[in-house]
Structure 1
């Protein structure tokens, strides 16, 4: 054995049981395309950093830069028309029903697009090529850095989207005095002008009209500079810096948007005020403030998994090699990247993360970059509670509050119903009508699903004041199902009609149906949430009874002839269908209606459904399936899905050459094209593999794959207000530390016996009402179905009666 063989072998042996704390995405060349650039964001302003040498592009977003203006796209439906459509569906003429829906429900307005501000361009007069180069995104600090050497001088650009100053700041430094020269200019695809105002470079733009809705958003972006040791000039279209030693650029952007029905703001005053306030601080103070704010959220959770490969490779290379290296530490990096993206795209006071989070480089984003609320927006927020980022949910809560207003007329005028409704899309104007045609859009459950996030937040925080605050939204969502559902003439169950199982029909037939399984599951959750909230808040008994009555009339889940969970009321599933949506698996995740212990037949049925549908899918679908297999307590299969998602797609232009590519070089999820929900689904899935709390207990390491034989995690959150840290070795938990934030009974579930102070063997039902146990009707199982009994590992359950603020340590026996 020669030396060249020994060194890699020694590296492999040393790395086998070590961890990587690396939290950097880094690259050894500038980005050539947007999907290689690195994102920064403060929940309002976003930027994509290309890291060029002679030519740097910093593409900009501001989260209220949307096309159109206040509007709503619901259409009043004659009750007789709705009755005719329902009768056509009930009699099986779904094609005619679909045609009528397209004729009477559509307005021609499919939602307004999220648009880009444009870009800041920085051009430098370098003649020689750099002798070294590195660009990186430090997830631990939310700082993007580009560094290179030319002619013996080290140049560095640091970019932050400041959480504390609410602007983008670019710091340019050099190792040799008076070495920095460049010119900066704006570019934008919006109708725009560039000029000078009060010694600053100003980009003014106007968002576009769309589908007959006039574009009324005005945007202003302002650039100013602090120059040490050099000269600054301004022309009508550019800022020129010569022979400087240190430079700080400040970028501020704002619009006239106030809220979904008010665009009376002054974009000029807002952008200038933000800029002037930010420039009062020097960069060293600004970056410290920014990092401190960010770390208070990001630093709550750490995850260490085994490092089994060389991590000293550029991130795109690590991604390309992942399925060869099978390095768990890379999973840790992508997990934390998802948390970084959620913090960066969703902060209190801002807009909710949309289909692309915060980042979009054009005026025609895929699917308009809207809020797709038949899973994608919900998936964006799956990691918010479990990975200890509850602040990021505030924009989502506001979105639900807004559509509980705009969706009230839609419910009344379209369905003759009380409460509020939204279909499968909304936008910054909180439109709630149907879009895209019956095949995709005839789905009146978007508001209902979104409302379940409000209830889940209560299960994590136990705050009755918060519950009172969001009760109108919980009740309004339930009121829609109380008044819009109709009795199925064949089965006698109360069903939604018309609707679809997103975005899928049986055997290629029309997707328009009555009472599909996902609708029934969402209706069950919405009504159950309102029932529990009403009981806690002591609402009128008459209303409580109405919720209970409706729950008894919902359709049960059914197991079909192939042993599958039926997607529709009829046993129409095709076991060879590989459709990306597995909508009826909602009952397993994110809901908790299906459980290994409480509903074993449904547990096996949904597993059969997932096996029949297969693993390969679009990026967001794979992200969902990671969570589903975690809920099925199969860590190895969940890890198989992780490997599916961590497969490089160098660019959309070569998608045919990379048919399994699901992640771009900058680790953005590829549908393809880019959708950020896959990143958030991935992060939520990792958390779900490590900790679950939906089934009456805090289950530690419920779905640990073999490859994660040892590791530790800190800061994950469980329902009941518990913050959990764990260490494990040889695939078994060794130590558990739990901080109780609100007190109450802690029930721990483990695959190994535990010991610890105040630990008692659990008996009976958990007295803590914050564990998410829901029970529906007994399932209907086809006589042809072949179902196995779930093969589960033995578990041990213990109780600790906790006090708020106290910490508890438990160990494996």
Structure 2
């Protein structure tokens, strides 16, 4: 069956599967305009983004374009640091940790040296203003964001007339479209203008169109060289348009369509040769040829081909009739399962809207940012945040949204050769914990935070996981050299530590955490060992699948055997470092050593119960409430620990009102459903969407586990279109906390192994056999880990497993298999 037919069949199943339930209530809605950015509503088409404020008298559309970043082409790799890196290694192996940290700080100072930079900020274009004279007094106000259609609307009554605005960032025409209507003719009169915080900017009108243009700013030692051009054109029914120097004025129109086009001179990370004016004008001219109805319909269709693949129903309550901000305030004390479903789908909406094929990946804020100097520059922070952005991609049937990240990896595999060679005298490529539009790969934020050479190791996991979900050998072949380059780097930089002769990465750190006062630099952190384990296994498996590079794979396999095992420390915790340095009162937001539990699958309840218990002890010790992204990760961990109620408790913590101030470590959710680090970071949204999926379906550890962590609050529900590794698509219905119906669509064929609650007996058109031995499906092969080392002081109580059974049945590619519970 070809891909088009598969998508079509998914849509049909999705529609029939959810007929008659509350899945349709997929709107964020409010009864007042936004008073600040955290109340405005995000729209986007991957390249263009806008925040819609919804003020009747003076509407603001705060605008973004994905390539509007400060600076210019160029890497940030320091020269002549290899000898110091060698010395830091020596000091670490001599247990002179403070001296090692001091040398790291001296070699890589906290502030960027004059000849380097620590990355460029993602910046706003500015704002478009629609000003209605006399509309300051209004009634019957409504504002919403329909995430089924990717359209934001505002309606109100002023001077006895009903007004409405519809705004969307077109997936079909690549412009932002605004439709202004009223229920009385000749009632639409407003002015259109633009502003920008950019220091170099200009505004003018020409040929009855509004133009706004600018150049991004300088930062560190880089000159701002991104030039952007925006054009806004109005199509009127009735009325009159006049143009002044920098403003358009419309008087007594029946209806107005505004189309906004934005383009930059960016071609790729090393080429700024695009004519921004020509590109913006061409896009606008093409879009303007279509009627509003055609533009709207094609936009919705282009968006829904992705969005409609997955439906989720968790129940409903009277809370769903309240405004979204009130529902967030009351979620902790009111039964509102539909808000969880809305939040889940909002994450999918944000991913579709900020990461389209052929564009840039979603950054720390997706594509939505109103500042010139946002927190953490709104860069790509790859010691967790960028990866978390893409956790929902495969599992929620949005694999295409992964493509911008893969494209960036190709770039980084080139720029990262410089950091690998210059800094570490190694082959292959690497990067540290940040990158930007210019694909920098050097250290950012100095030796205390930035000397973590593992960014490429983590990012490349997304390549391998995409292969496991799709079985696409052509894709694997295309990206094989990216995977190989990452493996080459670690093969060259691994050091033999003196005590056990294990091979470890040094110097590095467990991201942003310390084990002594102001000391984080270390050797052989648990997360590093887990990441290298995955990098090495991925390249060995890829080499075998593609029947290439056997000698290199053999050398990797030798090194793989010398990696350290995971260790359980004296606090009965999973050790974060090579030595038992964990602190009993540590509540740090990063719990990086639990990477092995999720998103990796090295730790599992059924194969490694001691490590699972140690991971659980670590999670309990660290506490629940933290920054937004940290709580998003914890939802996934508790789901992998098969504790649905604790996972749901973290969702409650995340769906609590975020304070509007931006200081401190309090996370939560803003009135517009965006995640608070604080301030806004989009990763918490994506982390929770992935976590809700992991509560309903897990596909690792050799099996597809159906309803592995269902909380008591999700008593009845349905989900359609979730993806499992091996090309399986799953529809699941449950009642009173028990599986009721299951549909499995197989895109690739092969053995399907299900793990179900032991009291569930499925009846279907094929017979299920009790599973024996390891799963024969090649996408479910297990990479065995070493037995953990356990401290004599550890006091493990045992991890209680749920009673389950495993079943096998063979599938044929393109066929669907339906089951009911007897």
Q: Tell me the TM-score range normalised by the shorter chain.
A: over 0.9
Counterpart for residue 181 of structure 1 = 189
Task: Compare 644-653 and 688-697 and name the one that shifted more.
Answer: 644-653
Say whether residues 1:74 and 2:77 are aligned partners. Answer: yes
In the alignment, the residues of structure 2 paired with residue 198 and residue 348 of structure 1 have an alpha-carbon distance, to the nearest angstrom, of: 34
Counterpart for residue 90 of structure 1 = 93
The correspondence of residues 580-729 of structure 1 with structure 2, limited to 5 A, is: 580-652=589-661, 660=666, 662-729=668-735
In the alignment, the residues of structure 1 paired with residue 580 and residue 105 of structure 2 have an alpha-carbon distance, to the nearest angstrom, of: 27
Indicate if the aligned counterparts of 1:36 and 1:664 stay in contact, CA closer than 8 A: yes
Q: Deviations over 1:575-611 (max 9, x none)?
A: 2211100000000000000011111111111011101
Indicate if the aligned counterparts of 1:693 and 1:772 stay in contact, CA closer than 8 A: no
Say whether residues 1:267 and 2:276 are aligned partners. Answer: yes
The Cα shift of 1:449 comes to 0.3
Counterpart for residue 748 of structure 2 = 742
Indicate if the aligned counterparts of 1:36 and 1:666 stay in contact, CA closer than 8 A: yes
The Cα shift of 1:18 comes to 7.4
| One of 400, 404, 407 as aligned partner of 2:409 | 400
In the alignment, the residues of structure 1 paired with residue 318 and residue 334 of structure 2 have an alpha-carbon distance, to the nearest angstrom, of: 6
The correspondence of residues 409-428 of structure 1 with structure 2, limited to 5 A, is: 409-428=418-437
The correspondence of residues 518-597 of structure 1 with structure 2, limited to 5 A, is: 518-597=527-606
Counterpart for residue 295 of structure 1 = 304
In the alignment, the residues of structure 2 paired with residue 590 and residue 725 of structure 1 have an alpha-carbon distance, to the nearest angstrom, of: 23
Task: Compare 112-121 and 190-199 and name the one that shifted more.
Answer: 190-199
TM-score scaled to structure 2, two decimals? 0.95
Task: Rate the CA distance shift 1:286–1:783 in 2: closer, same or farther, 3 A.
Answer: same
The Cα shift of 1:804 comes to 1.2
In the alignment, the residues of structure 1 paired with residue 799 and residue 820 of structure 2 have an alpha-carbon distance, to the nearest angstrom, of: 28
Structure 1 counterpart SS, 2:348: helix
Indicate if the aligned counterparts of 2:627 and 2:667 stay in contact, CA closer than 8 A: no
Q: Which runs of 4+ in 1 moved over 6 A?
A: none
The Cα shift of 1:197 comes to 3.1
The Cα shift of 1:21 comes to 3.3
Counterpart for residue 467 of structure 1 = 476
In the alignment, the residues of structure 2 paired with residue 52 and residue 634 of structure 1 have an alpha-carbon distance, to the nearest angstrom, of: 44
Counterpart for residue 487 of structure 2 = 478
Q: Deviations over 1:549-585 (max 9, x none)?
A: 0110101100001110000011111122111000000
Q: Deviations over 1:437-470 (max 9, x none)?
A: 1221110000110001000000000111111011
Say whether residues 1:248 and 2:251 are aligned partners. Answer: no
Counterpart for residue 450 of structure 2 = 441
Structure 1 unaligned blocks of 5 or more? 1-16
Counterpart for residue 305 of structure 1 = 314
Indicate if the aligned counterparts of 1:422 and 1:444 stay in contact, CA closer than 8 A: yes
TM-score scaled to structure 1, two decimals? 0.96
In the alignment, the residues of structure 2 paired with residue 527 and residue 128 of structure 1 have an alpha-carbon distance, to the nearest angstrom, of: 63
Say whether residues 1:39 and 2:42 are aligned partners. Answer: yes
The correspondence of residues 327-342 of structure 1 with structure 2, limited to 5 A, is: 327-342=336-351
The Cα shift of 1:149 comes to 1.2
Quote the RMSD (CA, aligned, Å): 1.4
Task: Rate the CA distance shift 1:530–1:127 in 2: closer, same or farther, 3 A.
Answer: closer
In the alignment, the residues of structure 1 paired with residue 659 and residue 562 of structure 2 have an alpha-carbon distance, to the nearest angstrom, of: 51
The Cα shift of 1:775 comes to 1.6
In the alignment, the residues of structure 2 paired with residue 216 and residue 127 of structure 1 have an alpha-carbon distance, to the nearest angstrom, of: 40
Indicate if the aligned counterparts of 1:20 and 1:307 stay in contact, CA closer than 8 A: no
Indicate if the aligned counterparts of 1:485 and 1:495 stay in contact, CA closer than 8 A: yes
Task: Rate the CA distance shift 1:505–1:650 in 2: closer, same or farther, 3 A.
Answer: closer
Indicate if the aligned counterparts of 2:21 and 2:313 stay in contact, CA closer than 8 A: no
The Cα shift of 1:231 comes to 0.3
Indicate if the aligned counterparts of 1:753 and 1:796 stay in contact, CA closer than 8 A: no
The Cα shift of 1:76 comes to 2.7
Counterpart for residue 26 of structure 1 = 29
In the alignment, the residues of structure 2 paired with residue 564 and residue 809 of structure 1 have an alpha-carbon distance, to the nearest angstrom, of: 42
Counterpart for residue 786 of structure 1 = 795
In the alignment, the residues of structure 2 paired with residue 543 and residue 557 of structure 1 have an alpha-carbon distance, to the nearest angstrom, of: 26
Counterpart for residue 118 of structure 1 = 126
Task: Rate the CA distance shift 1:151–1:349 in 2: closer, same or farther, 3 A.
Answer: same
Q: What count of residue pairs does the alignment treat as equivalent?
A: 794
Structure 2 counterpart SS, 1:221: strand
The Cα shift of 1:152 comes to 2.6
In the alignment, the residues of structure 2 paired with residue 310 and residue 389 of structure 1 have an alpha-carbon distance, to the nearest angstrom, of: 29
Q: Deviations over 1:698-725 (max 9, x none)?
A: 1100000011011000000000101100
Structure 2 counterpart SS, 1:325: coil
| One of 230, 238, 260 as aligned partner of 2:247 | 238
Indicate if the aligned counterparts of 2:570 and 2:580 stay in contact, CA closer than 8 A: yes
Structure 2 unaligned blocks of 5 or more? 1-19
Structure 2 counterpart SS, 1:539: coil
Counterpart for residue 12 of structure 2 = none
Task: Compare 265-274 and 754-763 and name the one that shifted more.
Answer: 754-763
Counterpart for residue 180 of structure 2 = 172
Task: Rate the CA distance shift 1:127–1:775 in 2: closer, same or farther, 3 A.
Answer: closer
Say whether residues 1:101 and 2:104 are aligned partners. Answer: yes
The Cα shift of 1:258 comes to 0.3
The Cα shift of 1:269 comes to 0.5
